[in-house]
C-alpha cells in the first residue's frame, strides 16, 4: 500500500474518531447545525443584555452565538455549554483566535448545568428535548423574568409570555419566552 494511501486512511480514522462525539450529542439534544449569521444581530437585540447580566448558550457547538453576544456585550457575562468534546475544542479555538474576556466555555452536559443565575438562555435544540427535558428544567431552575430564546423549534403549551420573530428567506423563526412566577411544571 502506497504511503499516501496509508496517510489518507489514518487521517480518515482520526476524523471519524473526532466526529463521533458530535453525532452522539445529536441523539440526545440536537445535531450541530450552525445558525445563519444574519440571525446573530437579531438574537442580540432580542436578548437586550444589560451590564452584569448572564447569557447562556446551551449546546453552543462552535460558540458562534456566544462569541457574537460576548463581543457585542462586553459588560455582560456569556457562558457557552457544549457536551461534544470536538465541538467544545472548536469553540475554544474560536475564542483563542479572537478572545472575548467575558466569554466562558464549558465542556459539560447542558442538562446538568445549574442555570439559576441566568438572565437569558439561548437554545437551538430539537423539540422533543425542549419539551420533555428542558421545559421542566427551566421551570424549576430559572428565576422570574428570565428570557429564553429558541431558534427554529418551540415549546408546546407555554404558559407565560411568548413572542415569535418570523422566519426570513434565509433562516427560521426565533421564539422568545419569559419565565413567570405562576408557571407550573
Domains, the chain, ranges and CATH?
3-178 (3.40.50.150)
Cα–Cα dist 146/181, whole Å = 10
Residue 120 β-bridge partners: 55, 147
What would the pLDDT profile of 54-102 be if each residue is shown by its tens digit? Answer: 999 999 989 999 999 999 999 999 999 998 888 899 999 999 999 999 9
Residue 32 β-bridge partners: none
Q: Tell me the torsion sign for CA atoms 42, 52, 32, 94.
A: positive
Q: What's the average model confidence in pLDDT over 110-134?
A: 90
**pLDDT exceeds 70 at position 118:** yes
Phi, psi of 79 (to 5 degrees): -125, 125
pLDDT at position 178, please?
Answer: 94
**pLDDT exceeds 80 at position 160:** yes
pLDDT at position 35, please?
Answer: 84
**pLDDT exceeds 60 at position 185:** no
pLDDT at position 18, please?
Answer: 58
pLDDT at position 23, please?
Answer: 54
- The closest alpha carbon to 123, from 151, 87, 164, belongs to 151
For the question of whether the overall pTM of this predicted structure is more than 0.75, the answer is yes
What would the pLDDT profile of 4-45 be if each residue is shown by its tens digit? Answer: 777 777 777 766 665 555 555 545 555 667 788 888 999 999
Mean per-residue pLDDT of the chain: 86
Cα–Cα dist 21/85, whole Å = 6
- Give the CA distances from residue 21 to residues 5, 18, 86, 107, 115, in Å, rounded to whole numbers and listed in that order: 26, 7, 7, 12, 24
pLDDT at position 163, please?
Answer: 87
Residue 149 β-bridge partners: 122, 176
Amino acid at each position: 500500500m502506497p504511503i499516501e494511501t496509508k496517510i489518507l486512511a489514518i487521517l480518515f480514522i482520526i476524523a471519524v474518531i473526532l466526529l463521533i462525539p458530535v453525532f452522539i450529542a445529536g441523539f440526545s439534544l440536537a445535531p450541530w447545525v450552525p445558525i445563519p449569521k444574519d440571525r446573530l444581530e437579531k438574537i442580540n437585540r432580542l436578548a437586550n443584555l444589560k451590564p452584569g447580566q448572564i447569557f447562556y448558550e446551551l449546546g453552543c457547538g462552535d460558540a458562534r452565538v456566544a462569541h457574537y453576544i460576548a463581543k457585542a456585550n462586553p459588560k455582560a457575562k456569556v457562558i457557552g455549554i457544549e457536551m461534544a468534546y470536538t465541538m467544545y475544542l472548536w469553540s475554544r479555538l474560536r475564542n483563542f483566535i479572537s478572545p472575548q474576556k467575558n466569554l466562558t466555555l464549558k465542556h459539560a452536559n447542558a442538562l446538568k448545568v445549574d442555570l439559576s443565575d441566568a438572565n437569558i438562555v439561548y437554545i437551538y435544540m430539537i423539540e422533543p428535548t425542549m419539551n420533555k427535558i428542558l421545559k421542566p428544567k427551566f421551570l424549576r431552575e430559572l428565576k422570574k423574568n428570565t428570557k429564553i430564546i429558541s431558534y427554529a423549534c418551540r415549546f408546546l403549551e407555554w404558559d407565560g409570555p411568548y413572542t415569535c420573530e418570523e422566519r426570513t428567506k434565509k433562516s427560521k423563526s426565533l421564539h422568545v419566552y419569559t419565565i413567570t412566577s405562576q408557571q407550573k411544571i
